[in-house]
Amino acid sequence: MDCLFCKIAGGEIPSKKVYEDELCYAFYDIDPQAPVHFLVIPKAHIQSVSQVDEAAAPVVGHIFAVIAQVARELGLESYRVVSNIGPQAGQSVPHLHFHVLSGRDMTWPPG
Judged by the rule CB under 6 A, the positions of this chain that interact with ligand 5GP are 4, 15, 27-31, 39, 84, 90-93, 97
Q: What residues form DSSP beta bridges with 38?
A: 28, 100
56 in contact with Zn ion (CB under 5 A): no
97 in contact with Zn ion (CB under 5 A): no
Verify whether residue 37 is a known catalytic residue.
no
7 in contact with Zn ion (CB under 5 A): no
**What distance in Å separates the CA atoms of residue 22 and residue 31, rounded to the nearest whole number?**
26
Three-state SS at 76: coil
Q: What residues form DSSP beta bridges with 82?
A: 99
Stretch that binds Zn ion, among 12-20, 27-35, 40-48, 59-67 (CB under 5 A): 40-48
Tell me the closest approach of the beta carbon of residue 78 to ligand 5GP, in angstroms. Answer: 20
95 in contact with Zn ion (CB under 5 A): yes
List all residues 6 or more positions away from 72 whose beta carbon is below 8 Å from its beta carbon: none
Q: Could you give the residue ranges of the DSSP H alpha helices within the chain?
A: 4-9, 57-73
**What distance in Å separates the CA atoms of residue 68 and residue 103, rounded to the nearest whole number?**
16
Question: Residues binding Zn ion: what is the number (CB under 5 A)?
Answer: 5
| Residues in touch with Zn ion (CB under 5 A) | 3, 5-6, 45, 95
- What residues are annotated to the active site? 97
